[in-house]
Structure 1
């Protein structure tokens, strides 16, 4: 399928160790870091929400 065959990886302990290190690094790098103050919106988020609300109300004809 992709890359090295699994049977070839586990022929050697070192190959298995390097393969598992690659899997762990992929998992570590794919998880995003949490925000510090995720409960309180930033000024940019508030501004974007206000702009979206005004655009929506303008598109629907209500004020």
Structure 2
């Protein structure tokens, strides 16, 4: 398992407090908001990327392939 062993974490009260605070902070940061508000900058970025992908050619060119004109 990742991180320190449980017996080492709880050697002192301060270490236990730090560990529990980090678990709570991780849970707080990873759960989305319940009101459904989206960050407008993230939405704009996603729309911009989708528009650029739609404009690209569907044909893939190998960047490592030799140019036929260089023979």
TM-score, length-scaled by structure 1: 0.52
Q: Does 1:5 align with 2:5?
A: yes
**What whole-Å deviation, never above 9, does each CA across 1:11-46 have from its counterpart, x for those lacking one?**
10000000000000011011101225xxxxxxxxxx
Within 5 A, what are the aligned runs for 1:21-60? 21-33=21-33, 34-35=35-36
TM-score, length-scaled by structure 2: 0.47
How many equivalent residue pairs? 36
Listed as ranges, the gaps of 5+ residues in structure 1 are: 37-63
Runs of at least 4 residues of structure 1 off by over 4 A?
none
**Higher helix fraction (1 or 2):** 1
Listed as ranges, the gaps of 5+ residues in structure 2 are: 38-71
The root-mean-square deviation of aligned C-alpha atoms, in Å, is 1.1
